[in-house]
């Protein structure tokens, strides 16, 4: 049972605590948070594979894995992800890897008798100029943002695969669309990471080296909505137990800030006292992508972690994990 905003919610699909659950992508930002959350809720029978143990782009290997292990539930958090520069620079990798991983995992899960699968998309599936906040109904109503259309097209294909499998085979697959995520376990690469971890590292290194300025890409005017990854993981488990329709569900905070405001926040948390400059040779991307979260709120889920606390926790994690950061 769940208590959300004073309402008692009875799951429509209870997962037994000893159910065999496969978390695909368990070493990534999202997958590791889903594992933590499942364990916190008493689910101990988790199955994971590193990339080296199982390459999800290889159809025969994925099929063998599912036939052998027969997971009852699947959280599909494995994906090739990155920030605006990575998406723009490696379009073939983004469309290829994501299509293959989704196709193989969703198909093998269905064939091996998985009871329910949760697919994770992204807010970049919506049109570049969708009216704000973006409702689920704005999918496929306009042109995509060019810097990430390859990733977006792959994610849209994943949504459609889930819907098609539900219609034709009655396969219980649901799709959740998270907004921009951040938190412990993120990638802090200076070129290829998302803006929040990239700025944490830039400001931290500028403070350490005594640099007098930090370069922030673009105009600083685009707005982004940031959701702490443990909130997303809670939403994933919540929807696994409380939602079974083919329609996609947005998951976000319902609030956004400009990149310039984000930079000021990161500067403060790091304790850097130099100046901020904007590199106008770098792209802004989508001007704004705030999700309309009324549907998931209606079902009964709300985020818990404030931006200030989430940012402080992420910076603490960055400091404590200097030796093992992902670049
Ligand atoms: O997070 P980000 O890379 O991706 O960039 P998107 C967000 C905004 O921050 C853009 C600006 O306007 C960037 O120009 N920015 C400023 C920076 N400084 C930096 C920096 O040092 N690093 C980075 N990375 N950005 C991605 C999509 O879009 O969002 C993906 O490409 C995915 O497909 C992901 O959907 C959630 O929010 O623009």
Residue 20: closest CA among 89, 72, 56, 92: 72
What Å distances lie between residue 18 and 38, 46, 171, 277, CA to CA?
Answer: 11, 9, 22, 52
Q: How far is CA 237 from the centre of its chain?
A: 14
Q: Residue 5: its pLDDT value, please?
A: 56
Q: Residue 217: its pLDDT value, please?
A: 98
Residue 215: closest CA among 205, 228, 225, 223: 205
CA distance linking residue 20 with residue 121, whole number of Å: 23
Contact 103, 161 (CB under 8 A): yes
**Confidence band for 1, pLDDT divided at 50, 70 and 90:** very low
**Confidence band for 190, pLDDT divided at 50, 70 and 90:** very high
The protein residue whose alpha carbon is closest to atom 6 in ligand 1 is 84
Q: How confident is the model over 246-275, as a mean pLDDT?
A: 98
Q: Residue 51: its pLDDT value, please?
A: 97
**Quick check: 6 pLDDT over 60?**
no
DSSP SS3 for 229: helix
**Confidence band for 4, pLDDT divided at 50, 70 and 90:** low
**Quick check: 64 pLDDT over 90?**
yes
**Quick check: 110 pLDDT over 60?**
yes
**Quick check: 57 pLDDT over 80?**
yes
Average pLDDT value for the chain: 96
DSSP-derived pairing of the beta strands 223-224 and 173-178: unpaired
- What does DSSP assign to residue 282? S
Q: Which CATH class is domain 21-185+225-255+289-305?
A: alpha beta
Q: Measured in angstroms, how far is the CA atom of residue 51 from the centroid of ligand 1? A: 25
Q: Residue 327: its pLDDT value, please?
A: 76
Q: Residue 323: its pLDDT value, please?
A: 83
Per residue in 266-282, pLDDT (tens digit) is 999 999 999 999 999 99
**Confidence band for 180, pLDDT divided at 50, 70 and 90:** very high
CA distance linking residue 94 with residue 103, whole number of Å: 14
Supply the pTM of this predicted model: 0.96
Q: What residues line ligand 1, using a CB cutoff of 6 Å? A: 83-85, 87, 122, 124, 147-148, 151, 180, 193-195, 198-199, 202, 216-218, 222, 224, 259, 282-286
Q: Measured in angstroms, how far is the CA atom of residue 195 from the centroid of ligand 1? A: 5
The helix (run of H) or strand (run of E) holding residue 109 is helix 91-112
Q: How confident is the model over 249-272, as a mean pLDDT?
A: 98
Q: Measured in angstroms, how far is the CA atom of residue 162 from the centroid of ligand 1? A: 27
CA distance linking residue 125 with residue 136, whole number of Å: 10
* Catalytic residue of the set 151, 182, 228, 243: 151
Which phi-psi region, left, alpha or beta, contains residue 11 (left: φ > 0; alpha: ψ -120 to 50)?
beta
DSSP SS3 for 12: coil
The helix (run of H) or strand (run of E) holding residue 279 is strand 275-279
Active site annotation includes 151 = yes
């Amino acid at each position: 049972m769940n208590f959300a905003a004073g309402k008692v919610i009875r799951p429509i699909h209870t997962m037994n605590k000893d159910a065999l659950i496969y978390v695909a992508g368990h070493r990534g930002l999202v997958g590791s948070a889903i594992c933590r959350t499942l364990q916190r809720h008493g689910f101990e029978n988790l199955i994971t594979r590193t990339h080296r143990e199982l390459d999800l782009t290889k159809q025969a290997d994925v099929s063998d894995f599912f036939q052998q292990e027969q997971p009852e539930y699947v959280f599909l958090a494995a994906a090739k992800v990155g920030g605006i520069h990575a998406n723009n620079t490696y379009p073939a990798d983004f469309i290829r890897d994501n299509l293959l991983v989704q196709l193989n995992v969703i198909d093998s899960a269905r064939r091996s008798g998985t009871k329910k699968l949760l697919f994770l998309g992204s807010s970049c599936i919506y049109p570049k100029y969708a009216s704000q906040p973006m409702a689920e109904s704005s999918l496929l109503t306009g042109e995509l943002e060019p810097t990430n259309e390859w990733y977006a097209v792959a994610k849209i294909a994943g949504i459609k695969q889930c819907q098609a499998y539900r219609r034709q085979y009655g396969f219980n697959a649901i799709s959740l669309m998270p907004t921009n995520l951040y938190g412990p376990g993120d990638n802090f690469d200076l070129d290829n990471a998302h803006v929040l971890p990239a700025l944490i590292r830039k400001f931290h290194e500028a403070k350490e080296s005594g640099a007098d300025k930090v370069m922030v890409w673009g105009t600083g005017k685009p707005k982004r909505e940031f959701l702490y990854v443990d909130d997303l993981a809670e939403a994933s488990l919540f929807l696994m137990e409380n939602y079974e329709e083919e329609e996609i569900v947005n998951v976000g905070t319902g609030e956004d800030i400009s990149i310039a405001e984000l930079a000021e926040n990161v500067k403060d948390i790091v304790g850097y006292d130099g100046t901020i400059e904007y590199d106008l040779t770098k792209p802004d991307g989508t001007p704004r992508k705030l999700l309309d979260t009324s549907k998931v709120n209606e079902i009964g889920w709300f985020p818990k972690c404030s931006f200030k606390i989430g940012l402080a926790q992420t910076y603490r994690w960055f400091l404590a994990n200097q030796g093992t950061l992902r670049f």
